[in-house]
């Protein structure tokens, strides 16, 4: 059985609001991958959102309240794993920074943060997973979501696992590490700029000749999927966890059932 | 109190207030020590190569920036190298120089046709000739100090600048260049201008395309004297 | 003060996105700058360690800025410079006007100076009857168009070659109309010829400064053209405009910053000309200015030292942040509405002109983090932009509709039971509405999104609801 440390660690899945509300199949894919990697997966019910919408709007009070309830919900787990680089980054880096000055919470936040991981990097770096048992005949390209890349160093891990998917041809995306233009509330507050950025991204995606686009963050994926479909491009968009887990029975993002 | 002094005090006071500090003996000591004995900077590996490596770095950087590099065995050959370069560039055999004993002592009678005029550069001078204080291998950079021996305009008004530098004045990194400046002018003292020159003048401001000779010289020729 | 259009950011953006020439110019130049910076960094193994050193040098200097300024003033004075302190932009303008008046100046040449833009110097001197000529080629190109710089190191990055040719033909009427201006080299040669006369005619030369060195009382400029050198060497009077945070303790400290500056800005190992000036000409010098004045500007920066924005004062004006910014490279510099564009502008502008006027700037960011990743001084730009958002939020400056939406969302997000109960009702409804197409082309309250993109419909039920079923043994 792959993995290091405890024989069967207890992982709390931080679902993320977008997965919870828009695409549960990503959550189930995450559960499968974690279980296959020898973890016992639990999903605390007292979680809603990591708080980025409030945090990035300058509402520290709301963010702190959300941080506190989230930290409390996951205190009994060995690890906290999220299928999202931006949510994991928020939990791991920004919660401790936010609560540093609060004597009641600063130690709890630090202890919590130490357990937080983004999903794919957790599988590869902590559980030692190097291959997945999945098959997909497709030509896919991969976008590096900003927070996962720059806050958490998620870059090689998804590519490593994708290369082990039988039948999958992985094509590198030009400017894979350049923002897709989502930025959370930015996409609706400054839609003109967001659109200009995602149009450039869509051109790069189309230029790969791929029939599938993958990434590790649902916000980015919905942004890029929405643009590709508005442009009439036939490129299937999925979360990387879905492909790694072989959970492909649901339609791709934005596709009709 | 003059307006100038009160403005100065106002700014200093505002800074102290913002820092939540005041003029203290301890802070003064920190600053004095830092200025007097600065911590050694992080010197890149490529600035620490032996002389042969320094020469090849200097040449490759300067040539990469479209400068010409000519090596001569001794100072005796410098005037001939200057004349040869001018001829190859179809330039008149006339250079503007400073009042420099080093340049004066070169074997100019080996090139009687080559005219030298002393003083700051004038509008219609085509070639300036300087002697560099040092050359820095880490980025292919010539270091020139202004003075009676090297008017600063020699390196900027004429379209062609020829710089003579001795192999013994070739250093690995900028630190070596400052050591020589300090040795010559004293610690904390500087001439009016120290120029770090790393190639001919250029611009990419029009359509993003690189063009030489934007305002400064179009041509830079470096004569490295081995002897 | 330079005209401010930051409050009209959204209009500026619309215009910028529709400006075909700007978009063409941005797509031609910007990606190359980022690629070259990457190559320069890869070519110097010590680059990351130097960033740490650079940050530490600036932090140390800022923590002792009062004393380093005093040390600089003393050394500069010993070298024969006149050092003037300007608490405000108006003070700086008056100082420079007086210097020009005392010099009986008629022609003033300028090297690139963002400070001179900040204080609105040119119109002020022109009102005094002076001819003011920008000599940095990019600055000259925009000066003749009556425009402001759109990038801090490549001010004319937004212009195409065709535009430049049209401007030269329009303005340089003394030259033969039939002349060829097809190649960039021809345009550069013409600019060189025109500006050479001005260099020689100038009575006062004004430059900026990337650094002021306390150890020697020197100012440092970097150019590729050599225009800064001609500006500061030919006229009788040299004026240096610098802001207080340009201070650096020693020559060795400057080495570290120079090792970072050009590589971050253009990918060059070093700028073609890096020039250290100290005082006026010496007695034995055959050329050089007779007077050297150094004007040191505060204009709100001292206050920043004591604030949570202090780190922005580490900036060495390389422009890497904007070269790598997806927002800047989509809208260009003018959209930001004032002197400083891009991520550095988003943090500095609210500090200098007020967060109310500049409120869009720190908000128009995806927080992708590339700016912080490439900043040679490791300025935490996204975090500083977030601080501005916090200030806006706590002062009630966020738009009302947005605040209300946020408050409604927050009320639920802080209460998991309520949140999940609402989601269990709302999500299946939305899923049903979107089931046929799988996505919405239009959705009330989501106009910002659906104007340009489809919005994927939710799958059917929430994950929490499905997971609860799974735990209860209900098949999926």
Reference B192, options C207, C288, C291; nearest CA is: C288
CATH 3.40.50.10420 residue spans of chain C: 63-302
How many whole angstroms separate alpha carbon C246 and alpha carbon C255?
14
> What are the tens digits of pLDDT across the range A198-220?
999 999 999 999 999 999 999 99
Q: Which of A56, A60, A146 is the closest to C368 by Cβ?
A: A146
- Residues 385..444 of C with a Cβ closer than 8 Å to A: which? 386, 388-394, 398, 402, 406, 409-410, 412-414, 416, 419-420, 423, 427, 435-439, 441
Inter-chain residue contact C330 with A197, CB threshold 8 Å: yes
Contact predicate C340/C328, CB 8 Å: no
**Contact at CB, B41 and C53, closer than 8 angstroms:** yes
Contact A230 C373 (CB under 8 A): no
Distance CA(B83)–CA(B80), nearest Å, equals: 5
What is the band of C1 on the pLDDT scale with cuts at 50, 70, 90?
Answer: low
pLDDT band of residue A149 (cuts 50, 70, 90) is: very high
Residue A254 CA to residue A229 CA, distance in Å, equals: 8
**Per-residue pLDDT tens over the stretch C312-358:** 999 999 999 999 999 999 999 999 999 999 999 999 999 999 999 99
Contacts of A195 in chain C (CB under 8 A): 451-453
* CB C70, CB C282: distance < 8 Å: no
* Secondary structure of residue B137 in the 3-state scheme: coil
User: What does the alpha-carbon distance between residue A126 and residue A194 come to, in Å, rounded to a whole number?
Assistant: 35
Question: What is the residue extent of each domain of chain B?
Answer: 3-36, 45-225
How many contacts does B have with C, using Cβ atoms within 8 A?
267
**pLDDT score of C70:** 97
Element (H, E) at A33: helix A24-36
In words, the CATH class of domain C63-302 is alpha beta
**Over the stretch C295-322, which tens digit does the pLDDT of each residue have?**
999 999 999 999 999 999 999 999 999 9
Find the residue in C nearest to A23 (Cα): C459
Q: Do chains B and A touch (3 or more CB pairs under 8 A)?
A: no
Give the residue-averaged pLDDT of C231-260.
98
Give Cβ neighbours of residue A164 (< 8 Å, ≥ 6 apart).
A130, A131, A132, A134
From the CA of C427, how many Å to the nearest CA of chain A?
Answer: 7
Q: Which of C320, C326, C352 is nearest to C339 (CA)?
A: C352
**Which residue shows structure tokens 């910007």?**
C30
Sequence-distant contacts of A196-201: CB under 8 A, at least 24 apart: A196/C17, A196/C330, A196/C331, A197/C326, A197/C327, A197/C330, A197/C366, A198/A223, A198/A224, A198/A227, A198/C452, A198/C453, A199/A227, A200/A175, A200/C330, A201/A143, A201/A175, A201/A227
- Is residue A30 over pLDDT 90? yes
Among residues B55, B105, B113, which one has the least CA distance to residue B75? Answer: B105
Instruction: Say whether C386 and A56 touch across the interface (CB within 8 A).
Output: yes
The number of C-beta contacts closer than 8 angstroms across A and C is 202
Does position A45 have pLDDT exceeding 70, yes or no? yes
Search chain C and give the residue with CA nearest A224. Answer: C453
CA–CA min distance A128, chain C (Å): 27
Reference A256, options B1, C167, C12, C459; nearest CA is: C459
Nearest CB neighbour to A19, from listed C394, C456, C463: C463
What pLDDT band is residue C29 in, cutting at 50, 70 and 90?
confident
Looking at residue B1, its pLDDT comes to 56
Nearest to C92 by CA among C244, C241, C247, C303: C241
The rounded distance, in Å, linking the Cα atoms of B171 and B137 is 6
C244, B11: Cβ pair inside 8 Å?
yes
Contact C456 A254 (CB under 8 A): yes
pLDDT tens sequence across C96-143: 999 999 999 999 999 999 999 999 999 999 999 999 999 999 899 999
pLDDT of residue C476: 65
Strand order in the sheet with B160-166: B68-72, B219-225, B160-166, B127-131, B94-97, B115-118
Contact A248, A167 (CB under 8 A): no
Contact check, Cβ <8 Å, C138/B14: no
Tell me the nearest-neighbour CA distance from A148 into chain C, angstroms.
10
CA distance B197 to C17: 40
Q: Does B175 touch chain C (CB under 8 A)?
A: yes
B interface test, pick of C57, C70, C196, C225 with most B CB neighbours within 10 Å = C225
Bridge-based pairing state of the strands C204-207 and C107-110: parallel
- Percent over 90 (pLDDT), chain C: 87
CB burial of residue A118 (10 Å; 0-12, 13-18, 19+): buried
**Any C CB within 8 A of B128 CB:** no
Q: Decide: C17 and A196 in contact? Cβ < 8 Å.
A: yes
Q: Do B18 and C304 lie within an 8 Å CB cutoff?
A: yes
Q: How far is C284 from chain B (nearest CA, A)?
A: 6
Question: Which other chains touch chain C, taking contact as 3+ CB pairs less than 8 Å apart?
Answer: A, B
Whether residue A57 and residue C402 make contact (CB cut-off 8 A), yes or no, is: yes
Pick A191's closest partner by Cβ from C452, C454, C458. C452
- What are the backbone dihedrals phi and psi of residue C119, each rounded to the nearest 5 degrees, phi first? -90, 0
pLDDT of residue A3: 46
Q: Tell me the CA end-to-end span of chain C in Å, nearest whole number.
A: 65
> How high does pLDDT run on average in chain A?
96
- The yes or no reply on domain A131-245 and CATH 3.30.429.10 is no
Residue given tokens 């971050």 in the structure block: C264
Note the pLDDT of residue A2: 46
Domain-wise residue ranges, chain A: 10-125, 131-245
Q: Is the pair A, C in contact (3+ CB pairs within 8 Å)?
A: yes
* CA-derived radius of gyration, chain C: 26
Selected residue of B57, B215, B219 to mutate for chain C interface (largest C Cβ count, 10 A): B215
Q: Which of C289, C288, C278 is nearest to C219 (CA)?
A: C278
CA dist A214 and A220 (Å) reads: 10
pLDDT digits (tens, 9 = 90+) for C359-396: 999 999 999 999 999 999 999 999 999 999 999 999 99
Which residue in chain A is spatially nearest to C335 when comparing CA positions? Answer: A193
The phi, psi pair for B194, rounded to 5°, reads -115, 120
Asked whether the beta carbons of C377 and C55 are under 8 A apart, the reply is yes
Mean pLDDT of chain C: 95
Per-residue pLDDT tens over the stretch C407-456:
999 999 999 999 999 999 999 999 999 999 999 999 888 889 999 999 99
* Rounded Cα distance, C407 and C417, in Å: 17
User: Which two tokens mark C190?
Assistant: 């013409």
Residue of A nearest to C424 (CA): A21
Residues of chain C contacting B201 with CB distance shorter than 8 Å: 224-226, 272-273
Give the C-alpha separation, C347 to C74, whole Å: 32
| C287/B151 Cβ within 8 A | yes
What CATH architecture is B45-225? 3-Layer(aba) Sandwich (3.40)
Give the gap in angstroms from C-alpha C475 to the nearest C-alpha of chain A: 13
Mutate to test the interface with A, among C10, C436, C459, C471 (most CBs of A within 10 A): C459
Residue C402 CB: number of other CB atoms within 10 A?
A: 14
With beta carbons under 8 A apart, name residues in chain C contacting B188: 75, 215-216
* Any C CB within 8 A of B177 CB: no
Residue B75 to residue B191: CA distance in whole angstroms? 26
Alpha carbon distance A163, B152 (integer Å):
61
pLDDT band at A6 (very low <50, low <70, confident <90, very high): low
Q: With an 8 Å Cβ cutoff, are C302 and B65 in contact?
A: no
Q: Cα(first)–Cα(last) distance of chain B, in Å?
A: 60
Residue burial C160-170, b: 16+ Cβ < 10 Å; e: rest: bbebbbebbee
Q: What average pLDDT does this structure show over C399-408?
A: 91
Q: Mind telling me how many Å the CA of C343 is from chain A's nearest CA?
A: 14
The residue behind tokens 């787990």 is: A77
Q: Which of C214, C269, C277 has its CB closest to that of B192? A: C277
This model of the complex carries an ipTM of 0.97
pLDDT at C385 (0 to 100): 98
Sign of the alpha-carbon dihedral angle for C66, C72, C77, C80: negative
Who among B7, B23, B141 is closest to C86 (CB)?
A: B7
C331 to A185, B29, C66, C159: CA distances (angstroms): 19, 48, 38, 14
Residue A209: count other Cβ atoms within 10 Å of its Cβ: 11
SS3 B197: strand
Residue of C nearest to A222 (CA): C456
Q: Name the residue of chain C whose CA is nearest to A189's CA.
A: C448
Residues B158, B162, B163, CA angle at the centre, nearest 5°?
125
Residues facing residue B127 across a β-bridge: B160
Place of tokens 């910053």: C257
Best mutation site among C463, C464, C476 for testing chain A: the one with the most A CBs within 10 Å?
C463
CB within 8 Å: C364 and A190: yes
HEC letters along chain C: CCCCCHHHHHHHHHHHHHCHHHHHHHHHHHHHHHHHHHHHHHCCCCHHHHHHHHHHHHHHHHHCHHHHHHHHHHHHHHCCCEEEEECCHHHHHHHHHHHHHHCCCCEEEECCCHHHHHCCHHHHHHHCCCEEEECCHHHHHHHCCCCCCCCCCCCCCCCCHHHHHHHHHHHCCCCCCCCCCCCHHHHHHHHHHHHHHHHHHCCEEEECCCEEECCCCEEEEEECCCHHHHHHHCCCEEEEEEEHHHEECCHHHHHHHHHHHHHHHCCCCCCCEEEEECCCCCCCCCCCCCEEEEEEECCCHHHHHCCCCHHHHHCCCCCHHHHCCCCHHHHCCHHHCCCCCHHHHHHHHHHHHCCCCCCHHHHCCCCCCHHHHHCCCCCCHHHHHHHHHHHHHHCCCCCHHHHHHHHHHHHHHCCHHHHHHHHHHHHHHHHHHHCCCCEECCCCCCHHHHCCCCEECCCCCCHHHHHHHHHCCCCC
- Cβ-Cβ contacts under 8 Å for B2 (sequence gap 6 or more): none
From first to last of the 227 residues of chain B, give the pLDDT tens digit.
Answer: 567 889 999 999 999 999 999 888 999 999 999 999 989 999 999 999 999 999 999 999 999 999 999 999 999 999 999 999 999 999 999 999 999 999 999 999 999 999 999 999 998 999 999 999 999 999 999 999 999 999 999 999 999 999 999 999 999 999 999 999 999 999 999 999 999 999 999 998 887 788 999 999 999 999 999 97
**Residue pLDDT, tens place only, C258-279:** 999 999 999 999 999 999 999 9
CB–CB contact B8 C85 (8 Å)? yes
Backbone angles phi, psi at B53, to 5 degrees: -65, -40
- A222: which chain C residues are within 8 Å (Cβ-Cβ)? 455-456
- Residue C211 sits at the vertex; the CA angle it makes with C383 and C325, to the nearest 5 degrees, is 35
In chain C, what residues touch A179 (CB-CB under 8 Å)? Answer: 326, 366, 368, 370
């Amino acid at each position: 059985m792959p993995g290091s440390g405890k024989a069967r660690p207890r992982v709390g899945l931080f679902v993320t609001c977008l997965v919870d509300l828009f695409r549960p199949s990503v959550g189930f894919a995450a559960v499968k991958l974690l279980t296959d990697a020898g973890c016992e997966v639990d999903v605390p019910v007292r979680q809603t959102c990591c708080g980025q919408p409030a945090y990035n709007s300058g509402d520290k009070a709301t963010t702190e309240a959300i941080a506190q309830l989230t930290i409390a919900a996951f205190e009994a787990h060995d690890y906290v794993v999220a299928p999202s680089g931006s949510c994991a980054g928020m939990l791991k880096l920004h919660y401790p920074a936010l609560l540093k000055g609060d004597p009641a919470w600063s130690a709890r936040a630090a202890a919590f943060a130490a357990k937080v991981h983004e999903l794919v990097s957790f599988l590869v770096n902590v559980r030692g997973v190097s291959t997945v048992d999945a098959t997909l005949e497709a030509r896919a390209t991969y976008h590096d979501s900003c927070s996962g890349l720059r806050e958490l160093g998620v870059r090689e891990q998804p590519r490593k696992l994708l290369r082990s998917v039988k039948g999958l041809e992985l094509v590198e995306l030009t400017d894979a590490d350049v923002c897709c233009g989502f930025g959370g509330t930015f996409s609706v507050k400054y839609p003109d700029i967001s659109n200009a950025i995602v149009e450039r991204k869509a051109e790069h995606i189309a230029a790969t000749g791929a029939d599938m686009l993958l990434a590790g963050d649902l916000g980015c994926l919905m942004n890029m999927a929405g643009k590709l479909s508005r442009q009439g491009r036939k490129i299937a968009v999925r979360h990387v966890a879905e492909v790694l887990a072989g959970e492909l029975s649901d339609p791709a993002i934005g596709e009709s059932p | 109190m003059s307006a100038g002094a009160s403005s100065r005090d106002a700014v200093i006071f505002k800074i102290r207030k913002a820092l939540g500090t005041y003029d203290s003996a301890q802070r003064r000591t920190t600053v004095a020590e830092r200025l007097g004995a600065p911590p050694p900077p992080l010197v890149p590996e490529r600035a620490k190569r032996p002389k042969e490596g320094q020469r090849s770095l200097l040449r490759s950087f300067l040539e990469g920036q479209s400068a010409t590099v000519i090596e001569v065995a001794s100072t005796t050959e410098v005037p001939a190298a200057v004349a040869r370069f001018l001829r190859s560039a179809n330039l008149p055999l006339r250079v503007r120089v400073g009042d420099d004993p080093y340049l004066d002592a070169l074997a100019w009678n080996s090139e009687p046709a080559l005219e030298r005029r002393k003083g700051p550069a004038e509008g219609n001078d085509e070639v300036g000739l300087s002697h560099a204080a040092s050359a820095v291998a880490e980025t292919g950079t010539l270091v020139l100090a202004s003075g009676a021996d090297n008017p600063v305009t020699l390196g900027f008004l004429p379209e062609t600048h020829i710089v003579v530098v001795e192999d013994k004045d070739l250093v690995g990194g900028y630190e070596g260049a400052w050591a020589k400046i300090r040795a010559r002018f004293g610690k904390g003292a500087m001439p009016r201008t120290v120029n770090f020159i790393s190639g001919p003048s250029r611009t990419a401001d029009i359509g993003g395309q690189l063009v030489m000779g934007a305002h400064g010289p179009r041509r830079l020729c470096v004569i490295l004297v081995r002897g | 003060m330079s005209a401010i259009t930051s409050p009209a950011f959204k209009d500026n953006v619309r215009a910028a996105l529709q400006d075909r020439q700007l978009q063409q110019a941005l797509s031609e130049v910007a990606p190359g700058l980022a690629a070259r910076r990457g190559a320069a960094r890869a070519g110097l193994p010590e680059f990351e360690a130097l960033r740490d050193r650079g940050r530490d040098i600036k932090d140390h200097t800022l923590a002792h800025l009062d004393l380093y300024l005093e040390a600089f003033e003393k050394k500069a004075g010993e070298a024969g410079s006149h050092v003037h302190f300007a608490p405000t932009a108006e003070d700086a303008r008056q100082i420079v006007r007086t210097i020009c008046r005392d010099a009986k100046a008629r022609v003033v040449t300028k090297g690139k100076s963002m400070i001179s833009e900040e204080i609105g110097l040119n119109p002020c001197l022109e009102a005094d009857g002076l001819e003011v000529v920008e000599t940095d080629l990019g600055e000259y190109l925009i000066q003749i168009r009556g425009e402001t710089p759109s990038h801090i190191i490549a001010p004319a990055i937004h212009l195409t070659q065709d535009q430049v040719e049209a401007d030269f033909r329009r303005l340089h009427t003394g030259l033969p109309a039939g002349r060829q201006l097809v190649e960039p080299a021809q345009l550069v040669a013409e600019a060189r010829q025109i500006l050479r006369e001005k260099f020689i005619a100038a009575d006062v030369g004004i430059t900026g400064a990337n650094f002021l060195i306390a150890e020697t009382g020197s100012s440092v400029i970097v150019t590729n053209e050599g225009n800064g050198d001609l500006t500061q060497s030919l006229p009788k009077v040299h004026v240096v405009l610098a802001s207080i945070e340009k201070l650096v303790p020693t020559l060795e400290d400057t080495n570290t910053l120079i090792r970072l500056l050009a590589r971050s800005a253009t990918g060059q190992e070093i700028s073609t000309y890096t020039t250290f000036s100290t005082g006026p000409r010496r007695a034995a010098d055959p050329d050089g200015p007779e007077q050297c004045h150094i004007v040191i500007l505060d204009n709100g920066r001292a206050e920043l030292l004591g604030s949570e924005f202090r780190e922005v004062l580490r900036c060495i004006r390389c422009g890497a942040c904007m070269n790598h910014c997806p927002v800047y490279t989509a809208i260009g510099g003018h959209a930001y509405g004032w002197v400083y564009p891009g991520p550095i502008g988003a943090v500095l502008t609210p500090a200098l002109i007020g967060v109310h006027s500049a409120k869009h700037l720190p908000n128009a960011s995806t927080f992708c983090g590339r700016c912080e990743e490439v900043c040679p001084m490791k300025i935490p730009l996204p975090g500083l932009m977030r601080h501005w958002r916090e200030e806006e939020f706590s002062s009630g400056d966020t738009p009302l509709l947005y605040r209300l939406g946020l408050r409604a969302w927050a009320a639920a997000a802080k209460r998991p039971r309520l949140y999940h109960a609402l989601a269990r009702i709302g999500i299946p409804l939305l899923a049903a509405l979107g089931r046929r197409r799988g996505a919405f082309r239009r959705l009330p309250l989501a106009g910002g999104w659906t104007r340009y993109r489809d919005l994927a419909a939710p799958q059917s039920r929430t994950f929490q609801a499905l997971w609860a079923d799974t735990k209860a043994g209900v098949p999926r």
